[in-house]
Amino acid sequence: MKQPAGRQADKAGAARDAARIGPKAAEDEDGSNTPDHKGLALRAMLPNAITAAALCSGLTGIRFAINGEWGLAILAVILAGVLDGIDGRIARLLNAQSRFGAELDSLADSLSFGMAPAIILYLWALQDLPRFGWFAALAFAICCAVRLARFNARIDIDDQPHKSAGFLTGVPAPVGAGLAFAPFYLWMEIGWEELRDPIFLAIWLTVIAFLMISNMATLSWGSIRPRRGIRLWVIVISAMAFAALLLEPWWLLTTVSVGYLALMPYGLIKYGRIKRQRRLSAEAASAAGDAQTGV
């Protein structure tokens, strides 16, 4: 049966949208209102330049690690994470999202948050564990690439329960890189050589790699909504955190890492609650439909 021309046009438009949207610069973006550029607009160069700067920052961390400047190496990757967090927002603000920028962002993330942390940690401690230390570094880099590939492959799929509820699937790549460095943060402050033990670090890196490619629901910015009564406290704590970043960066990064890991069970519980509510709503709607049809 031949479909009406209007419906065919709608489907063609949806297909064009799916083709041009592609992967997003951030995992919690919805991809709506993406312009269809025949070329790369000048305003699109700013977010792409920020993405390129994030890539340079992540790769420069490897150079610092080769020279044994471990603190600068870690901070370079963290700076890449900060830049990665703002390039997509700027692209949306300028209405400058493009398929080129999205592809560049995915490639930059794989290098800055997969390859760079793996090499830095290998040079820092894992090279003292023959073979298995390199395998742990490889596992982390590969899991980061697989996570990004999975995200890109599912970007145009409508049925995404985690995303529709405001959650992410697994630990995001920048967060995974930050968590992978957690032993280093503590080592910088308290100097325990046990934190630099290659066996412990290999196990830690493998666990973080598994969390990145896991199917568990994790919190995103969209799922964190402070109540009205504590919003002023959130502003105060944010300001104090910025001061701590200048004065005690390693303690702050340790606290952020521990806090994120501590919130993961809360995220699972919160998503489980939403999932149950959806199931009950679906069952109620199905029962109401059966009652109307007399079944």
User: Domains plus CATH for the chain?
Assistant: 43-275 (1.20.120.1760)
- What mean pLDDT is predicted for residues 124-148? 93
pLDDT at 119: 97
pLDDT at 232: 77
Angstrom distances, CA of residue 49 to CA of 8, 30, 58, 101, 264? 38, 22, 14, 9, 33
pLDDT at 286 over 90: no
pLDDT at 23: 41
pLDDT band for position 42 (cuts 50, 70, 90) = low
Residue 5 tokens, joined: 């021309």
**Mean of the per-residue pLDDT values for the chain?**
81
pLDDT at 7: 47
How many Å from the N-terminal Cα to the C-terminal Cα in the chain? 31
Q: What is the pLDDT of residues 143-153, one digit of tens each?
A: 999 999 888 88
pLDDT at 31 over 50: no
- What mean pLDDT is predicted for residues 5-23? 45
Q: What is the pLDDT of residues 241-268, one digit of tens each?
A: 888 888 899 999 999 999 999 989 888 8
**Contact predicate 84/57, CB 8 Å:** no
234-271 residues labelled b (16+ CB within 10 A) or e (exposed): eeeeeeeeeeeeeeebbbbbbebbeebeeeeeebeebb
pLDDT at 173: 93
Q: Which residue has the higher pLDDT, 115 or 33?
A: 115
Alpha helices in 22-131 (DSSP H): 45-66, 70-93, 99-110, 116-124
pLDDT band for position 200 (cuts 50, 70, 90) = very high
Specify the range with the lowest mean pLDDT, choosing from 21-30, 87-96, 273-282.
21-30
Alpha helices in 128-191 (DSSP H): 132-153, 161-164, 173-180, 182-190
